Structures are given as structure tokens and as C-alpha cells.
Amino acid sequence: MKKILFMMGAAALALSSCSQEEVISANNGKNDANLITFRVRSQKPSRAMEFSTYNLDDFMVYGFKGDPDDGEEVIPYFLNGEPVKFTREEGGLLFTSATPYYYPTDGSWLYFAAYAPSSLTGFTTDKFGGLELKNFTVNTDITKQIDLIFASGGSNLEPDEDDQELTFTHALTKVFISQVANEDVRYKYEIVGVKFGNITNTGDYVFRGEKILDEEGRNGYFGSDGYIQDYTGYGHFWKPAETQADEIEYIFDEPVVLDNDNTTQALMSGDDTANLDGGKECFMLIPQKLSAKFVNEDGTLEAGKFGEGMTYIAFLVRITNLITNEVIYPYAIDEETGASKTDAISKEVNGVTYAWAAFPVSSLWVPGSYIDYFVDFSKGAGFVAPGADESIEFTPILGREIKFYEEVFDWTDGTKITVDQSGELGVDVGGSDDVFGED
């Protein structure tokens, strides 16, 4: 029998906006006629990601026997349908299971669906090797967030044939604010945190591997409403929770300062290697559509509407008038009440008080992509964030709107993606076909 083994390529799964794709052949077992190896399609790394060939110690694999394209019955192959953990051998690129598994001797087709982290549970499967995960929730402590990756492949290879390719792709959306700017010489901004408000941190996930083309050859054809698909061709589908009322924030160790000497500053690098050391430079979030539906065409807000379901990005900020040397945000303490109207949205960091300044955002977070925001405070500081005193909540801080710019990239190869903000994604999602292909 041919023993089932998995090989990890020598290059990391990586985020690289400037590197060329390469396929790493990792066949260390050609001298063993029973050994089956897998290639990993990845990117030549310039910045490592949360999961890479260097820190991925194990992953889980579902196995299925039979090829539905040939009319064969598809049945679970491992442990009565349960996934099997494959663990890296010490010092090598080979992943093996504690109990060995072998290819069938009759030449039957085996299909594999793999995922990491291996601690993730709760999957259900379909007869075509599709995986579904209900109510997946991201950790709101972003220093504890992890990458979520999937791979699939099939094989009935003979010992003298090439090894099978295995491709891991990313299921979440990576989001960060790379730069902030201010060219208004009258103000200094000290930014010590970022928050997304009125989003959802929970969603249902479907992975369809390579068997996702409909009869017309369209990638990701899906007949149910509310699902967002990826662009990569590897079949990620998310249905975010209908209620968008969650928040997620990240507080920096030190403030990022915008003043006359520093008109543009890096805010978050987007490089999550810091995750391995307890730091963080990006969010990993549920793919979803963000809506600033109460913003008028001229960019102004309908009065009192900001907090009613509108998605926003907020900055924990301290704004100083450089001419008068007066702190103008957070708002001053009222002498009569002994409190500030921004107290409820203020936070003390290293002995200094800051307050949240928010602005509404419309966007589409697509699976397997990363979103890079650039924010310009030159024309304004946004709005008083939800949760402040109701007399000032949602009002402009400096009387003018903030400007921000968004770019969307494929998480794996760094190519730029044009996103249809209507949410249609350029794909016909009509009809009644079920993604699982069930009878």
C-alpha cells in the first residue's frame, strides 16, 4: 500500500505585494515507492504570515474516497468521517499522522480537505468534500487572533508519478490602517488606538475546495442569498451574522504623532509576525459588507443616525491646537458638572486621556483579501464616536469631514482587486443550485 503523507514546501504562505509566485516541489520520498508527497503552492515570502512553513506545526485533514465526476459514491475515508491530525516531523518538512493511513489498492480516487489551526472544531462535511463551519467567531483580542487557512487536493497517483500539489488559502479578511496624515499646521494628532464598530465578529463558513465551478464554468457559483465569495478560485464562502453590533479595537503601546514635523506616519504595518511575540499589526476579521447607509451624497450625516447600525472606523485620539496649545479633543471638563461630555468614550493610556473619533465607512471585506486604509486628517477629525453624551454624539469634531482611502489586495499574491461595492462581486448568484451538491 502507498502510505499517505503530507509535505510542506520550503517557502512560507506569505503576504507580498511585490514578489513573484513560485511552486515549491517538496518530494523527499521518491526512494520509497509507498510514499505519497504533496507540493505546496505558495508565494516567495517577503513578510511572513501567521501561518507559514516555519510555524505551522500541524493541521487537520478530512479524507474522502470516490470521484463524483465519474459517478462514484463518495464515502468518508478517515475515522468514520472524522479529521486526522498530521504533525510535522522534527526538523523536517514532512507531516505524518500518529496512525498511518494508506491509499486503497484498487486505485480509487482520494480527495483531501485540510485546515489549520488544528484546534478548530465543529465542521460538517458533504459528499463532495466540502466543509461547513457554523457560527465561527473571531477573537476580539487581536493579539490572540490567528490565521484560518484551508487546502484541498485529490490523488490516485502511482509511485512513479509526480507528487500531488496541495494549496493553502486564507479564509478571513486581513484589515489594517497603514498610514495616517495631516497637513493642517494648526493641529497635532496623537493616535493611540483603532476600533471598528458595528461590524459582526461571527459568521458561517463554507469551503468547497476545487469542485466549485458550475456547468458554465463560473467560479464560486452559489444559489443562497447572503453569502460573500472569494476571488481566488478556491471556494471560500462566508455568510456573516445579520446583526452588525460588535466592536473590535487595538490599543497601541505608544501614540503615533502627527504634527508639523511629521505630516505622514505609518500606523499599522499589516505584518502579523508580531503575533508570534505577543504584538499585533493587523486585524483578521469575518468577511462582510460594511454600510454607511446614513451618509448623504455630500458626505454629511443625517442627524442622529450615526449609531443606528452604521459601520465606522474610530481612532483613539488626542487633538491639540498648536496655536493656543489647548487640547480640543477629548472635550474639556465642564466646571458645573465636573465631567466631560466625552468621558464615556475616553480612555487613559499611560496616564494620558484620549477619546474615540469616528467616521462611517462603506466597504466589502472579501475572503482571502487584505484591506489597506489610508486616513487623512487634513480636512477634519471625523465625528464624536457613538456612546458619548447624546448632545454631542455623532457631531463633527472640527466641523469638516475626514478623508480616507481604501485599497483591496489578494492576500496571497498581493495583486490589487477591484471590488464592486454593491456586493454583487461580478458573479451571477441566482438560481437554486446548492453549494453542497446534495440530492
The cell for 254 is: 505608544
DSSP secondary structure string, 304-361? T-TTTT--EEEEEEEEEETTTTEEEESPPPPTTTSS-TTGGGEEEETTEEEEEEEEE-
Pair 67, 159 in one domain? yes
The enclosing domain of 144 has a CATH number of: 2.60.40
Q: Does 60 share its domain with 126?
A: yes
Within this chain, do residues 330 and 185 fall inside the same structural domain, yes or no? yes
How far apart CA 240 and CA 187 sit, in angstroms, is 39
Whether 24 and 128 share a structural domain: yes
Same domain, 108 and 182: no
Both 115 and 186 in one domain: the answer is no
Give me the pLDDT at residue 413, please: 66
Q: What is the dihedral of CA 422, 369, 243, 311, to 10 degrees?
A: -70
Quick one: 279 and 185 in the same domain?
Answer: yes
The size of the chain, in residues, is 439
C-alpha cell at 133: 463551519
- The answer to whether 211 and 276 have CB atoms below 8 angstroms apart is no
DSSP string, 399-419: SS--EEEEEEEETTT--EE--
SS3 category, 250: strand
Please state, as a whole number, how many other Cβ atoms lie within 10 Å of the Cβ of residue 421.
Answer: 12
429: in domain: no
- 129-142 burial, b if ≥16 CB within 10 A, otherwise e? bbbbbeebebeeeb
Of 49, 417, 53, nearest to 269 (Cα)?
Answer: 49
CA distance 14 to 49: 5
- What pLDDT was estimated at residue 342? 97
348 and 262 in a common domain: yes
Give the domain extent around 7. Answer: 3-170
Domain-located, residue 278: yes
Q: 45: Cβ–Cβ under 8 A, 6 or more apart, which residues?
A: 11, 12, 14, 16, 19, 52
Identity (one letter) of the amino acid at 160?
D
Is 285 inside any structural domain?
yes
pLDDT for 242:
80
> Cα dist. 358→292, 307, 364, 410 in Å?
12, 11, 19, 27
Same domain, 262 and 164: no
Nearest to 174 by CA among 373, 371, 423, 375: 371
Q: Tell me what pLDDT residue 97 has.
A: 82
Pairwise CA distance, residues 182 & 403, whole Å:
10
Domain count, the chain: 2
Alpha-carbon span 79 to 192, nearest angstrom: 50
- Pairing, β 35-36 against β 3-4: parallel
CA distance 52 to 18: 18
DSSP 48: B
pLDDT of residue 434: 27
In a domain, 211, yes or no: no
Q: Which residues contact 432 (CB under 8 A, 6 or more apart)?
A: 223
Q: Is residue 437 assigned to a domain?
A: no
Measured CA to CA, the distance from residue 317 to residue 438 in angstroms comes to 52
- Whether residue 213 is contained in a domain is answered as no
Cα–Cα distance for residue pair 187/338, rounded to 1 Å: 26
C-alpha cell at 138: 473571531
Distances (CA, A) of 405 to 118, 176, 413: 36, 12, 21
* Per-10-residue mean pLDDT, the chain, length 439: 60 32 28 44 36 72 80 80 84 76 78 87 77 91 84 64 64 89 94 94 80 41 49 66 88 94 88 45 87 60 60 95 96 90 96 94 81 88 90 82 71 64 31 26
pLDDT the model gives residue 151 = 81
Q: Is 281 part of any domain?
A: yes
Peptide bond into 367 cis (omega under 30): no
Spatial separation of the C-alpha atoms in residues 384 and 392, rounded to whole Å: 7
Same domain, 186 and 163: no
Which residue, of 170, 186, 215, is where some domain finishes? Answer: 170
**Would you say residue 133 lies in a domain?**
yes
| Cis peptide bond N-terminal to 396, omega within 30 | no
d(CA 339, CA 343) in angstroms, rounded, equals 7
User: Residues 269, 141: one domain?
Assistant: no
Residue 306 bridge partners (DSSP): none
Does 163 lie in the same domain as 52?
Answer: yes
> What confidence score (pLDDT) does residue 201 get?
94
Cα–Cα distance between 436 and 134 in angstroms, integer? 15
